[in-house]
């Protein structure tokens, strides 16, 4: 659902997009294709993934079906030779590169102790190093273009310690991409190359969000980001550089007033999940106020106990520990993995797959269906240690509890 009209500004331009086989990267490619642009689909996915749709070849077919020209290239942004080979092929086919979009990214929302170094290296090698490397290798060609842009899908540099405390390794890796914008926009100004960053205001329905939460009803479609990218890439790079833009602000700047069509679930338009790194109203970045009534938690677990079934245990296969803060401070557990399941006060008998820490008021709201775990996590009301995907399985379970609490 694209709301920004194509103007033809990117006709004949060549875009090199990392991670363009699906999600936001592909959405930007398809938007440019409607102008008749050339797109280098630089991504790893050459063979279909068992869980994720799209390969570089299917993306190329969609680009050409919309009037663009495509060059699918197998590119792991950690590999200098693969990037250089794709650039050389782009020069042979399209005579150059005008626009680089650093979209490829890896994510792991884990605390310091839970982040294994293999995952740390992956995030830094793809996000920060990959962005730097692709920019460095494309630079000679961008210097030759009269409409040269680099666009990084990365957040504004927000130095609020809160955003580091949740997942310091991921934050550093994403901020590395943003620091490339900060430095390169100034460094490349003399070459008339615009270097900017774009970040979504809300969660975007991509494979990453779906794998993380299993639900996209609180997300927007990737088209809001591709529309914003199109507006940015249509601007004059000589004067438009060093900006850290938010998708919603960019589309509003060109007269889009009703953003509801971008929502995955139009009925949920007022309950969208805010994205990371933005200090929006509702994001909790300080200690919770302790003003909740007592006695809700034992009652809640009494209700939860009645809803545990062998089927639920079989389906969930996870042990949860809840560290409740505030007036009703205490430790509770929910075992949906062993035997017929169990719940109650104290630590679980078996090691927890996920430990959730939150204030007792928010905890009660979460189990009453008033606050989604995903929303609570993104807003800083819930801290998760351990297996993130298993923690998010609670969301589905809570839907069945909602009527009973």
Residues carrying an active site annotation: 170
Q: Indicate the SS3 state at residue 84.
A: helix
C-alpha distances in Å from residue 31, one per residue of 93, 109, 229, 326: 21, 30, 9, 49
C-alpha distances in Å from residue 385, one per residue of 72, 166, 274, 287, 369: 39, 10, 21, 18, 22
187: Cβ contacts below 8 Å, ≥ 6 apart = none
Q: Do 36 and 67 touch, CB atoms closer than 8 A?
A: yes
| Pair type for strands 193-199 and 244-246 | parallel
Q: In the sheet that 69-74 helps form, which strands lie side by side, from edge to edge?
A: 69-74, 38-43, 14-18, 99-102, 148-152, 193-199, 244-246
Give 114-181 as a DSSP string. T--HHHHHHHIIIIIIHHHHHHHHHHHHHHH-SSEEEEE--------HHHHHH-HHHHHHHHHHHHHH
Per DSSP (E only), the strands in 45-84 are: 69-74
C-alpha neighbours within 13 Å on the C-beta side of residue 243? 24
Q: The tokens of 378 are what?
A: 């993104």
In whole angstroms, what is the distance from residue 213 CA to residue 221 CA? 15
In whole angstroms, what is the distance from residue 90 CA to residue 82 CA? 12
Q: The tokens of 296 are what?
A: 């809700």
210: Cβ contacts below 8 Å, ≥ 6 apart = 216
């Amino acid at each position: 659902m694209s709301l920004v009209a194509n103007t033809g500004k990117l006709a004949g331009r060549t875009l090199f997009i990392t991670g363009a086989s699906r999600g936001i990267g592909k959405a930007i490619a398809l938007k440019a294709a409607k102008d008749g642009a050339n797109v280098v689909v630089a991504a790893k996915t050459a063979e279909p993934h068992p869980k994720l749709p799209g390969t570089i070849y299917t993306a190329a077919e969609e680009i050409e079906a919309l009037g663009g020209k495509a060059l699918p290239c197998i590119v792991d942004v950690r590999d200098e030779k693969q990037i250089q080979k794709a650039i050389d092929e782009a020069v042979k086919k399209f005579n150059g590169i005008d626009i680089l979009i650093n979209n490829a990214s890896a994510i792991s929302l884990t605390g310091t102790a839970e982040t294994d170094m293999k995952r740390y290296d992956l995030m830094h090698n793809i996000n920060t190093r990959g962005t730097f490397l692709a920019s460095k290798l494309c630079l000679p060609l961008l210097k030759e273009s009269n409409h040269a842009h680099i666009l990084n899908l990365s957040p504004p540099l927000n130095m609020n310690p809160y955003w580091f405390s949740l997942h310091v390794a991921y934050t550093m890796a994403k901020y590395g991409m943003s620091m490339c914008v900060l430095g390169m926009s100034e460094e490349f100004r003399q070459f008339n190359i615009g270097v900017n960053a774009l970040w979504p205001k809300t969660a975007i329905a991509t494979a990453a969000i779906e794998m993380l939460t299993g639900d996209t009803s609180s997300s927007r479609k990737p088209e809001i980001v591709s529309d914003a990218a199109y507006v940015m890439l249509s601007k004059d790079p000589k004067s438009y550089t060093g900006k850290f833009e938010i998708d919603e602000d960019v589309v509003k700047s060109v007269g889009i007033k009703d953003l509801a069509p971008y929502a995955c679930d139009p009925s949920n338009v007022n309950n969208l999940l805010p994205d990371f790194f933005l200090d929006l109203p509702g994001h909790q970045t300080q200690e919770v106020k302790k003003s909740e009534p007592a006695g809700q938690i034992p009652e809640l677990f009494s209700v939860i106990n009645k809803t545990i079934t062998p089927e639920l245990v079989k389906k969930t296969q996870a042990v949860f520990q809840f560290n409740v803060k505030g007036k009703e401070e205490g430790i509770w557990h929910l075992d949906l993995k062993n035997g017929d399941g169990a719940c109650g006060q104290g630590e679980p008998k078996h090691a927890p797959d996920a430990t959730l820490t939150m204030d007792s008021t928010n905890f009660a709201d979460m189990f009453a269906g008033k606050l989604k775990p995903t929303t609570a996590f993104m807003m800083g009301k819930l801290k998760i240690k351990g297996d993130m995907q298993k923690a998010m399985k609670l969301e589905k379970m809570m839907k069945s509890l909602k009527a009973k609490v």
